Chain A
Amino acid sequence: MTEYEHVDEDVRAITEDSELPQRLREQVYETVDDRGGVTAEQADEIVQAVESRYLDTRVDPLDPVGTVSAQSIGEPGTQMTMNTFHYAGVAEIDVTQGLPRLIELVDARKTPDTPMMTVHLEDEYAVDRERAHEVVWSIEATKILALGDVSTNVADMLVQIDLNEGTLLERWPTIDDVEEIAARIAETIEDALGVETRRTGTVIEFGPSEPSYRELLQLVEELREVVFKGIEDISRVVIRKEQLDDGEEEFVLYTEGSAFGDVLEIEGVDASRTTCNNIHEIYRNLGVEAAREAIINETMDTLEEQGLDDVNVRHLMLVSDIMTNRGTIESIGRHGISGSKESVLARAAFEVTVNHLLDAAIHGERDRLDGVIENVIVGKPVSIGTGDVDLRMGSFSPTQPSD
Chain B
Amino acid sequence: MVDVSQHKLVPEHILLDDPEEIEEVLEEYNVSKTNLPKIRTKDSALPEGAEPGDVVKIVRESRTTDRAVVYRLVIE
A positions within 8 Å CB-CB of B: 21-23, 264-265, 271-273, 275, 282, 284-290, 293-294, 296, 313-314, 317, 321, 324-328
Contacts and interface: CB of A to CB of B under 8 A. Distances in A.
A285 B45 CA distance: 8
A293 B62 CA distance: 10
Specify which of B8, B40, B46, B65 lies most central, judged by the most chain A CB atoms within 10 Å of its CB.
B8
B63 A313 contact: yes
Given A23-B65, A287-B10, A289-B10, A325 B45 contact: no
B2 A282 contact: no
Contact of A272 (B6, B13, B40): B6
Contacts of B45: 286-290
Contacts of A313: 63-64
12 contacts: A272-B6, A285-B2, A286-B9, A286-B44, A287-B39, A289-B9, A289-B11, A289-B58, A290-B45, A326-B37, A327-B37, A327-B39
Q: When A and B form their complex, which 7 residue pairs have the shortest distance between CB atoms, in order from nearest?
A: A287-B45, A327-B38, A290-B9, A287-B43, A327-B40, A271-B2, A287-B44
Contacts of A22: 65-66
Interface in B1-18: 2-4, 6-11, 13
A265 B37 contact: no
A320 to B, nearest CB: 11
B4 A287 contact: yes
Contacts of B33: none
**Chain B interface size, under 10 / 10 to 19 / 20 to 34 / 35 or more:** 20 to 34
Contacts of A288: 39-40, 43, 45, 72
B2 A264 contact: yes
B60 A289 contact: yes
B22 interface: no
Residue picked from B7, B58, B60, B64, most chain A C-beta under 10 Å: B7
Interface string B14-40: 000000000000000000000001111
Given A21-B65, A23-B66, A326-B38, A271 B44 contact: no
A326 B64 CA distance: 23
A140 B61 CA distance: 34
B63 A290 contact: no
B16 to A, nearest CB: 16
Contacts of A282: 9
Contacts of B39: 287-289, 327
B43 A327 contact: yes
A271 B38 contact: no
Contacts of B6: 271-272
A314 B38 CA distance: 21
Contacts of B65: 21-23
A325 B38 CA distance: 6
Contact of B9 (A265, A293, A325): A293
B7 A271 contact: yes
Contacts of A328: 40
Contacts of B66: 21-23
Contacts of A314: 64
Contacts of A294: 9
B32 to A, nearest CB: 15
A318 to B, nearest CB: 11
Contact of B72 (A23, A286, A327): A327
Nearest to B36: A325
Given A287-B46, A327-B39, 5 more contacts: A21-B65, A271-B2, A288-B43, A289-B13, A327-B38
A325 B2 contact: no
B14 to A, nearest CB: 12
Contacts of B7: 271-273, 286, 290
A23 B38 CA distance: 29
Contacts of A286: 4, 7, 9-10, 44-45
A290 B10 contact: yes
Contacts of A285: 2, 4, 44
Contacts of A321: 37
A192 B39 CA distance: 41
Interface string B36-76: 01111001111000000000001010011110000010011
**Max count, chain B CB within 10 A of own CB: residue among A288, A296, A324:** A288
Contacts of B58: 289
